[in-house]
Amino acid sequence: MGSGAIRSGAVALVAIKAKLAAFALALTAVLAGAVAFLAASAGPAEALPSYARQTGQPCAACHTAYPELTPFGRRFKIGGYTMQSGDWTGPPVAAMFMAGFTHTNSPFDEGSQPAGLHTNDNLVWQQVSGFVAGRLYGNLGSFIQITGNPVDGTVALDASDIRYADTFKLFGQDTIWGIDANNTPTVEDPWNTTPSFGWPQISSTIAPAFGPPLTHIENGYGQIVGGAGAYLFWNDMLYADFTAYKGFPVPVLQAFNDGNSTTDAVSNVAPYWRLALEPHWGQHYLMVGTFGMYGQVVPGRQYGFGTDNYLDVGFDSQYQYDGDQYSVTVKLTDIMEWQQLNATYGLGGSSNIDNHLNSFKANASFVWDHTYSLGFGYFNISGSNDCNLYGSGDNVLCTPAAIGEFNNSYNSSPNGDGLILDLAYIPFAHGAPGPYGYTTWNARIGIQFTEYLHLYGGSNNFDGSYLGGTHNAAGNNSVFAYAWVAF
């Protein structure tokens, strides 16, 4: 072996050691911060997780590894968050914070990173939330979340829902019926296969530098609409929901700090539907279902060009073994979206009026004693080639009218896929130290690895820029260490 190769190998080894050292230090900082916070939170009674104190149950009753729901947890949600057997009579309030350290294979291009952050290796408090969550009065319950983002200095109303639920007999079988109002389609759903609470429920808010586009039901309606609807859960097996959504006017968006006069407007009464069947045998639960939504959107509130029309149809399935010692959950979700981009085409933002996009996710998790969690998943995005929508401008055969968030593909393609591995430790699922036990707090401390196999139709140099780094799919691979604490 030549001396040049030896020197190259030595340099690479030093770089690897430096990255491992940086990661180890950051993980230590995250864990230390979490422990310090928990120690400081041991005293006051008002720092109780609201659902645990209301039900008198440990977090393990509702969650395999929080926030993934067990069969009992799903039925608690369907029942309107109102089941009560604890002795707490105060307000249903709680709080949560998330700290995270993110390392990516390649740093951000200088100047492209979020304001105030480094181009790599960032340790941040990425979310702080307060909740009104639990029984409000009688059969009325809520999951209302106000979230602060310390990275960009904002506070806003997050995905929330309020519901009323009761029971009756239908065809001789016990049936739960309810009405629900919420501001994010799928937040009302009791399974973790739909977008709002789909796996992984926590991820870095910093990485990746280049992320694939998503369907509108995954990333287009959240907190900019309000909806009301009704649902049924018949014979502990069949679930049906129908909700109608309407876009919030600008004053409401500004009041909730969720948008402004350039935020997309949903102009129609947008229907959302959900149907799921969950037969079960002992501790084995199998769900198959479908959901969807049709929305007419005015992009950026630029009127006069018609609307972009999105039809999303999803199919999902979940198998869950909910044992006393361990649980296994396997989930599949496929969302097909048909796009009629009248307004975006008229504004020069797309080359095609009619496009399609498909989002597929498969993941499985194994949780031992509600304490140790291992999750693995695959995701895939595919769809129509569109120069103006996805083209990077580095291909002489494609010159987009403007460069937007997703103009990152030399091939004008949205296609991408990747893998996620998540390892987590949930120390207080069965109880926590201190005078209030499991009703005081819970925590999830973990590490997550994300690998991008392809982005925007390519693996290397997907945008044709020859800049390397994050302009290769693997350059966006990340290690994310996190501490998620609820109290």
- Write the DSSP string, 454-480: EBTTBSSSTTS----GGGSGGGG-EEE
- pLDDT value for 36: 35
User: Would you write out the chain's pLDDT as a tens digit for each of its 487 residues?
Assistant: 444 433 334 434 434 444 444 334 334 433 333 333 333 333 322 223 678 878 878 778 888 988 899 999 999 999 999 998 867 777 899 899 999 999 999 999 999 998 889 999 999 999 999 999 999 999 999 999 999 999 888 999 999 999 999 999 999 999 999 999 999 999 999 999 999 999 999 999 999 999 999 999 999 999 999 999 999 999 999 999 999 999 999 999 999 999 999 999 999 999 999 999 999 999 999 999 999 999 999 999 999 999 999 999 999 999 999 999 999 999 999 999 999 999 999 999 999 999 999 999 999 999 999 899 999 999 999 999 999 999 999 999 999 988 888 999 999 999 999 999 999 999 887 766 655 555 567 889 999 999 999 999 999 999 999 999 999 999 999 999 999 988 8
pTM of the model: 0.88
- pLDDT value for 441: 76
Q: What is the pLDDT of residues 232-290, one digit of tens each?
A: 999 999 999 999 999 999 999 999 999 999 999 999 999 999 999 999 999 999 999 99
Cβ(409)–Cβ(462) under 8 Å?
yes
| Tokens read off for 360 | 């597929």
- pLDDT value for 439: 58
Where do the DSSP E strands lie in 253-406?
A: 265-266, 270-277, 280-281, 284-298, 308-322, 326-341, 354-368, 372-383
Cβ(422)–Cβ(373) under 8 Å?
yes
List beta partners, residue 409.
391
DSSP states of 46-109: T-S-HHHHHHT--HHHHBSSTTSBPHHHHHHHHTTS----SS--S--EEEEEEEEEEEESSPPP
- 10 Å Cβ neighbour count for 52? 27
Cis peptide before 150 (omega within 30 of 0): no
- pLDDT value for 435: 54
- pLDDT value for 33: 38
| Residues 6+ positions from 169 with CB-CB distance below 8 Å | 175
State how far the Cα of 316 lies from the Cα of 197, in Å rounded to an integer.
13
CA neighbor of 184 nearest in space, from 226, 213, 145, 146? 226
